[in-house]
Amino acid sequence: MFGLFKRKPQELPKFEEIRTSEFGNKYFGRAKPWDWLNEEMIHVFDPSTAKWITMDPWFQQIYLAAEGKMTLLEFAINIAKMYSKRQGIPEGLDTMLLAYFRQLHNDMKLLKLSLQPFELEKNHKLTMSEYGKLKENN
């Protein structure tokens, strides 16, 4: 009787496109130094071109999550869980995330991949400001 009003958990998509991609089971981490540009936006420094890169919100969300501790599939599941049952999970979420991920890895060279969880280099884990302060104090 008391179970009458329990909410059923939202059914998550299978994310077949991510599961079968070359990235689905790989852990991902940041490959370039970064910092906060303002309260909402980061920028990434590419030492090979001496350019600063700013990102759209989805790219930024992927980059900030890139700590070497989860796979792209796990990331997609976490994102899907953020949507309420009423909102619904957007159709094609996996296709969109995979496209953004490919750009960040293949085109922009901003992500490292591994079959195992890994630790980020300190200058990729910390913001450039934090890393600079750490170096000054040592």
DSSP-assigned states of every residue in 62-131: HHHH-EEEEEHHHHHHHHHHTS-TTT-PPTTHHHHHHHHHHIIIIIS--EEEESS--PPPHHHHS-HHHH
**Confidence at residue 133, expressed as pLDDT on a 0 to 100 scale:** 81
Query: Mean pLDDT throughout 51-79?
Result: 95
pLDDT band at 11; cut points 50, 70, 90? confident
C-alpha dihedral (31, 33, 34, 35), degrees to nearest 10: 160
Query: Mean pLDDT throughout 64-86?
Result: 93
Q: Which two tokens stand for residue 117?
A: 């969880």
Query: Of the ranges 7-21, 50-64, 89-103, 116-130, which one carries the lowest mean pLDDT score?
Result: 7-21
**Confidence at residue 9, expressed as pLDDT on a 0 to 100 scale:** 65
Q: pTM for the complete prediction?
A: 0.87
